[in-house]
Amino acid sequence: MKFASVVLISIAALVAAKDSDSHTNLRTASAVSFQQSACNDIKDEKHCFATKDEGTGKSCVWCDCQAVPSVCVTPDQAEGLPPGVFDCKSPDKTFFDFHLEDGRTHQLKETITEAGAENICDASSKSISGYMDVKGSKYDESGDKHLFFWMFEKRNSHLLDEEEASEIPFVVWLTGGPGCSSTLALLTENGPCSVNPDGKTTKINPYSWTEAAHVLWLDQPAGVGYSYGDENDSGEAMVSEDAYYFFQAFFQAHPEYSKSPLYIIGESYAGHYVPAITHRIWKGNQSPCEKCIDINLAGLAIGNGLTNPEEQYQWYPEMVWNNSHGIKVVDESVYQAMKAAVPKCVALIHQCNQGDNTIDNFACQTAFLVCNLALTSPYQATGLNPYDIRKKCDKPPLCYDFSNVANFLNLESTKQALGVDESHVHNWNACNYGINMKFHTDWMKDFSPYVADLLDAGFPALIYAGDVDFICNYLGNQAWTKGLAWKHSADFNAAEVHDWNGGAGLARSSNGFTFLQVKDGGHMVPSDQPEVSLTMLKTFLSGGEF
């Protein structure tokens, strides 16, 4: 019997022993292939990396273990090894295991493409894509989740020395929905490339946010985009817990990025996600778990977000009648009816935010139905695009044709290049409407107090909003920033509103808090105003004046 086969038999025993522990077992024993391979005959790491598995055509995987000798295995065999026992890596994919809390193991699986290598998006930057696997969490003991991410380094950062590279900001981008894919934003808004009309090739985006920072796009919660697993998340406690441990695993696996200042940024329903996740990281840094590291949190930004529904829903009538572009979206009778509906809506949202008991949650669900029927449905009845009041909704429900993006992300070659788990992810979709429905109780919750906590702790925050978006409009976002109770609120409200960037926007800024109205920007500012959005990002990350 060959040496490698002996080790694999011992691996099988380890898997069987682990399988009874739902908190630590991320891969079942059935995932391990015991079929002999040329990989199993190799005894050193260098030759292991240079050899291809005849079954998959991919590089063999080298797995280190303290308890038994290191082994060379196939990719399928590596997938089935018990988390926390082996650390595996290959030129195609790297596996990291982390015991972070309460016996739970988080596994990070990655595909790394170095700068200059052939790349499906942007060859000028190193990219990392893959999955964070976690089974069980504080708010979801039986959950089995696999969160997909795609990260690009700042363009040409590989030319910098280690000290210079450590100062590059690290941005995490979260798309809202809830239930929509951040990978969509990468390819249509602020990523290093966009998809050509043929749905098979890409072109460089000169205004990519990777001009200013390392950027990671995270598909979350499970079930969104390329992510998969138990679709149990229904609120920000679960979302922020999963995200916190994602960052713990990622920065422990990649200490080269751990010194970079971290900014959490997102749009739309990320007006919930961003404050909750940033707040969780801040709290985690104050009292980390035993094996957790300090995360170099630096700030947060929200674009056209839903953060304080009680305030923001009041401004829907004004957005259809008194917006900065002078567009009368509805008849005056409809405008007056919308205004008349505001008090009842506000009362329901207020009750929703009194607690988390049955009555409060019923108020949340009632508010979702009543407020949207009275205040957003009249707009939808016009046939206009809720993300840009100047346009018709050409392709409901998202109003934009993303078929080229969907075609590209569903190509076999794209999935293989990104390390997508094709055994579980058959089709990428822009949004998962089943997940959207799970957040209807969470929808009307107010997360602006988290922003206040973070501002009081000294973290800068940027709230920006394109001024032709209806659904998360600039009027509502401006109102909640002015009404926010924090220690410098008086200074913020006294600050002069002034032109920014040669008339590209109107800004109010004081003591690290900025509200920016972006002229001629819709719901997706980086898509509508790419050059302006990049300038905005650079200003924010550098601590510059707005």
Sign of dihedral through CA atoms 335, 340, 344, 350?
positive
Catalytic residue among 388, 469, 489, 527: 469
Catalytic residue among 523, 527, 528, 533: 523
3-state DSSP: the chain helix, strand, coil percent, rounded to 5? 40, 20, 40
Tokens found for residue 349: 């949202």
289: left (phi over 0), alpha (psi -120 to 50) or beta: beta
Residue 523: active-site member: yes
**Which amino acid, residue 494?**
A
Q: Rounded distance, CA 514 to CA 511, Å?
A: 8
- Beta pairing partners, 71: 63
Nearest CA-CA partner of 367 in 386, 353, 356: 353
Q: Rounded distance, CA 330 to CA 160, Å?
A: 54
Please name the residue that has the structure tokens 């089995």. 144
Residue 140: active-site member: no
Please name the residue that has the structure tokens 């380890």. 14
Exposed/middle/buried for residue 259 (C-beta within 10 Å: 0-12, 13-18, 19+): middle
Nearest CA-CA partner of 162 in 91, 94, 260: 260
Strand, helix or coil for residue 44:
coil
Report the Cα 254 to chain-centroid distance in Å.
Answer: 18
* DSSP tag of 419: T
Catalytic residue among 125, 268, 509, 527: 268
CB 313 within 8 A of CB 345: yes
| C-alpha angle 144-83-108 in degrees, rounded to nearest 5 | 70
Buried b (16+ CB within 10 A) or exposed e, 154-166: bbebeeeeeeebb
Tokens found for residue 502: 């040669």
Sequence-distant (6+) residues with CB within 8 A of 511 are 455, 488, 491, 492
CB 157 within 8 A of CB 254: no
Q: Rounded distance, CA 2 to CA 300, Å?
A: 54
Strand, helix or coil for residue 516:
strand
Residue 64: active-site member: no
Tokens found for residue 69: 């000798």
Give the residue numbers annotated as catalytic, written as ranges.
Answer: 268, 469, 523
